């Protein structure tokens, strides 16, 4: 979902990363906390103010991570793979492989995150009371984290898709209407309405009271609006691709070239002359890999003549072949899941064609122009 991500490792097999925008908000949150502590607790040493500010920020984002793990654990128990958890400027997101197949599963996955945040709020408030007579900085830290986790849970339960509350709303609408698409469109419409309220409120606050706070609220509204609109767009794409098979959209106009041929030969004798954009690299009857313009561009021009195609081709084991009967909706999901732009279409162990995002876009454009 996000580019420019620093991978931190894995939790329960799920890759966890930090988007670069996280560092911006981490610094802003820390400085805001330090300024607040300096105003409310002027007797604290500067080192204490900064230490509590940094620790509070770290624990805040650890709380966000636990919130997303709540979603992820329930999704895993429902048999849905979680691709990654990413912390970014607006908090965190757990990227699940597919949408739930039942309203009940959607509901349970959605409420798991806020439930974790409410539990953390209670735990931090309890911690604050426990250290009340021991350390004022630790007591304040617990109070802040308890309050922030409570706000995080309550905010996420706002019924505006794609917030957790919006997903709860979708689950309820899905259950009532019996239609995933209908439930999603209604929940997305509610999400867009709430997003516009956030944007209007943010503009009003920015020009009447607090410019930074209003700007931040407006940005949150813009983010929610974009996400809700993107969800509807994804539904439209699924509708346009539904019922069409890979064999109907695949291209057979792909070169088949022997191993040992250089990248220079591919470009000069084939790509430039024919306008084709890909080639299958073979050794006899055995497929070795696929090479596209993307792979060609990764090779410095000075090395074209000495670089064989098989050295830069996508290996056959990474091509994620699909059967001719697979629907394009499933093909697109596979491409997104595996982060690839082309997949071979294979029948009885033999490649009969190639399908990529270009072919999918061509199908979508054609059906849109015909109003299908």
Q: At 342, give phi and psi (nearest 5°).
A: -140, 145
The verdict on whether 99 is a catalytic residue reads no
End-to-end CA distance of the chain: 29
| SS3 (DSSP) at 321 | coil
Contact present, 310 and 284 (Cβ < 8 Å): no
Query: What order do you get walking across the sheet with 278-283 strand by strand?
Result: 255-258, 278-283, 286-292, 314-315
Rounded Cα distance between 119 and 149, Å, is 9
| Helix, strand, coil content of the chain in percent (nearest 5) | 65, 15, 20
CB-neighbour burial class of residue 279 (10 A; exposed 0-12, middle 13-18, buried 19+): buried
Preceding amide of 162 cis, omega within 30: yes
CB-neighbour burial class of residue 21 (10 A; exposed 0-12, middle 13-18, buried 19+): middle
Contacts of 352 (CB under 8 A, 6+ apart): 247, 250, 252, 324, 345, 346
Rounded Cα distance between 185 and 64, Å, is 27
- The secondary structure of 14-35 as a DSSP string is EEEEEETHHHHHHHHHHHHHHH
Q: At 240, give phi and psi (nearest 5°).
A: -70, -30
Q: Which of 40, 68, 97, 358 is catalytic?
A: 68
Q: Which two tokens stand for residue 305?
A: 């003549």
Q: Which two tokens stand for residue 29?
A: 């949150």
Catalytic residues: 68
């Amino acid at each position: 979902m996000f580019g420019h991500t620093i991978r931190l490792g894995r939790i329960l097999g799920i890759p966890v990363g930090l988007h670069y925008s996280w560092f911006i908000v981490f610094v802003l949150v820390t400085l805001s906390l330090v300024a607040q502590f300096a105003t409310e607790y002027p007797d604290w040493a500067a080192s204490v103010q900064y230490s509590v500010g940094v620790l509070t920020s770290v624990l805040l984002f650890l709380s966000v991570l636990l919130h997303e793990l709540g979603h992820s654990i329930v999704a895993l128990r429902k048999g849905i793979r979680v691709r990654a958890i990413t912390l970014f400027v607006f908090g965190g997101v757990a990227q699940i492989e597919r949408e739930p197949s039942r309203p009940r599963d959607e509901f349970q996955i959605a409420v798991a995150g806020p439930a974790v945040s409410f539990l953390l709020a209670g735990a931090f408030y309890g911690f604050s009371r426990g250290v009340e007579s021991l350390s004022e900085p630790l007591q304040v830290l617990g109070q802040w984290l308890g309050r922030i986790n409570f706000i995080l849970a309550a905010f996420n339960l706002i019924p505006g898709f794609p917030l957790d509350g919006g997903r709860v709303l979708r689950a309820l609408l899905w259950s009532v209407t019996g239609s995933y698409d209908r439930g999603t469109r209604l929940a997305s419409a509610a999400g867009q309405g709430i997003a516009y309220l956030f944007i209007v409120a943010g503009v009003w606050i920015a020009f009447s009271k607090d410019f930074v706070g209003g700007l931040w609220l407006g940005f949150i509204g813009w983010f929610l609006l974009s996400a809700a609109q993107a969800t509807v767009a994804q539904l439209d794409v699924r509708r346009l691709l539904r019922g069409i098979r890979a064999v109907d959209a695949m291209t057979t106009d792909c070169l088949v070239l022997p191993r040992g041929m250089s990248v220079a030969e591919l470009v000069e004798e084939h790509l430039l002359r024919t306008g084709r954009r890909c080639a299958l690299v073979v050794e006899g009857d055995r497929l070795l890999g696929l090479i596209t313009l993307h792979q060609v561009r990764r090779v410095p021009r000075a090395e074209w003549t000495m670089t064989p195609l098989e050295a830069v081709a996508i290996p056959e084991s990474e091509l994620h072949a699909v059967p001719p009967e697979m629907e394009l909706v499933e093909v697109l999901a596979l491409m997104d899941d595996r982060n690839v732009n082309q997949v071979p279409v294979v029948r009885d162990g033999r490649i009969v064609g190639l399908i990529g995002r270009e072919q999918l876009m061509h199908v979508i454009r054609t059906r849109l122009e015909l109003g299908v």
